[in-house]
């Protein structure tokens, strides 16, 4: 039996369907977060905007309540970056992601001088310090600078962040979390232990459900884990495979998942900063043309810009400008857009800016044309 070949547009439509971007989904907020296998959360507003653009019904106040009630948690996970997860998924996958956190620790601190402290002792002390009360990184710096005046404190901070399961404590801010976050022990916050058995098989299946069809390298890019080929091979009898049109890549997918036609209409959408749709494949042409990559990732400040999707692909950037009691959503397309697309983006943008800044007296959408 011949293996089906997938074009870039077919990959695009399939991924958009999994990401709830072809059609908004009738899911609850926790169901939406779990469907996406977690959401990048380095920008405070990002998970709110990411769910608003994907769910049929989204209530910002409800999401904040779920965070404060600990149904959703923010923690360092995939690629050693901050993500929002359901509490259940965080507990389920935290140990599985630990090898990626170990690699990140080595990459960040490997060449630094560690002669000023014993890692095992510092981890024990750090756990006790964080168990007392939630702590900021400034608190950690002050504590361990006094304890180990000759040590590289940056290495200590990063070690505590990646080696101890920690969650960010919400506050009363506009986006549930503060700009200067406090961390506490995950087991204390969630009142349950973190299982020590890894769940790699389930993690891969959840990844494919959210981002498939995908290659082994894609899953490794998303998770930060390496050597996932063995997991995919063990799962092969349960999966379907496709070939890359004009290339050699092998795509894996869950069975019975639709591959929408390449010409399936894709509505305009707004993606927040750091959206995982832009970060979860080794080859990103299914969503971003190579000619635009530097405009999204090349700012030099480690930020991933907020983007617009037109016909399913990244077609420009957007920002918010606030002055006094006015809030404007500013759209900057990469190329001139068709009038119908401009009208659709303006209409969608007007709804989005009201969600982002409900207290503003004036809301508008402005265009920063090519």
Q: How far is CA 234 from CA 204, 244, 246, 250, in A?
A: 11, 21, 27, 15
- C-alpha dist (Å) from residue 361 to 60, 284, 336, 353: 18, 39, 30, 12
What percent of the chain shows pLDDT beyond 90?
86
Question: At a CB cut-off of 8 Å and minimum separation 6, what does 359 contact?
Answer: 325
Report which of residues 112 and 1 the model is more confident about: 112
Q: The tokens of 122 are what?
A: 């510092």
pLDDT of residue 299: 55
Confidence of residue 229 (pLDDT cuts 50, 70, 90): very high
pLDDT at 117: 87
pLDDT of residue 68: 96
pLDDT band at 302 (very low <50, low <70, confident <90, very high): low
Mean pLDDT of the chain: 94
pLDDT at 298 over 80: no
Integer CA distances (angstroms), 61 to 65, 66, 145, 170, 174, in order: 6, 9, 39, 14, 10
Given a cut of 70, is residue 284 above it in pLDDT? yes
pLDDT more than 70, % of the chain: 98
Phi and psi torsions of 134, nearest 5° = -60, 140
Tell me the DSSP string of 13-72. Answer: HHHHHHTT-SS-B---HHHHHHHTTSEE-SSTTHHHHHHHTTBSS--HHHHHHHHHTTSE
pTM metric for this prediction: 0.94
Q: What is the pLDDT of residues 317-370, one digit of tens each?
A: 999 998 888 999 999 999 999 999 999 999 999 999 999 999 999 999 999 987
Distance of CA 183 to the CA centre of its chain: 19
pLDDT tens-digit map of 233-255: 999 999 999 999 988 999 999 99
């Amino acid at each position: 039996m011949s293996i089906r070949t997938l074009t870039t547009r077919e990959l695009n439509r399939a991924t958009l369907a999994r990401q709830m971007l072809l059609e908004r989904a009738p899911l609850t907020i926790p169901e939406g977060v779990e469907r996406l296998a977690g959401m990048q959360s380095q920008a405070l507003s990002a998970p709110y905007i990411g769910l608003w653009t994907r769910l049929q019904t989204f209530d910002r106040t409800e999401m904040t309540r779920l965070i404060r009630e600990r149904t959703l948690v923010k923690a360092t996970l995939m690629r050693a970056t901050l993500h929002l997860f359901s509490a259940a998924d965080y507990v389920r996958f935290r140990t599985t992601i630990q090898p990626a956190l170990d690699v990140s620790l080595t990459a960040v601190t490997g060449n630094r001088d560690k002669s000023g402290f014993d890692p095992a002792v510092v981890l024990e002390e750090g756990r006790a310090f964080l168990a007392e009360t939630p702590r900021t990184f400034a608190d950690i710096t002050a504590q361990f600078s006094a304890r180990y005046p000759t040590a590289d404190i940056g290495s200590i901070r990063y070690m505590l962040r990646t080696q101890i399961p920690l969650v960010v404590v919400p506050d009363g801010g506009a986006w549930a979390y503060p700009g200067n976050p406090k961390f506490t022990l995950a087991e204390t916050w969630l009142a349950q232990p973190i299982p020590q058995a890894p769940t790699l098989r389930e993690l891969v299946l959840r990844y494919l459900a959210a981002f498939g069809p995908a290659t082994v390298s894609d899953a490794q890019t998303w998770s930060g884990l390496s050597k996932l080929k063995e997991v995919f091979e063990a799962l092969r009898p349960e999966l379907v495979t496709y070939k890359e049109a004009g290339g050699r890549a092998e795509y894996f997918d869950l069975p019975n998942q639709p591959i929408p036609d390449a010409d399936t209409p894709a509505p305009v959408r707004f993606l927040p900063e750091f959206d995982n749709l832009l970060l979860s494949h080794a080859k990103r042409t299914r969503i971003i043309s190579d000619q635009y990559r530097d405009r999204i990732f090349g700012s030099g400040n480690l930020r991933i810009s907020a983007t617009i999707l037109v016909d399913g692909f990244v077609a420009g950037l957007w920002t918010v400008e606030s002055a006094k009691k006015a809030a404007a959503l500013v759209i900057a397309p990469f190329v001139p857009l068709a009038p119908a697309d401009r009208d659709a983006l303006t209409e969608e943008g007007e709804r989005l800016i009201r969600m982002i800044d409900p207290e503003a007296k004036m809301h508008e959408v402005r265009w920063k044309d090519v």
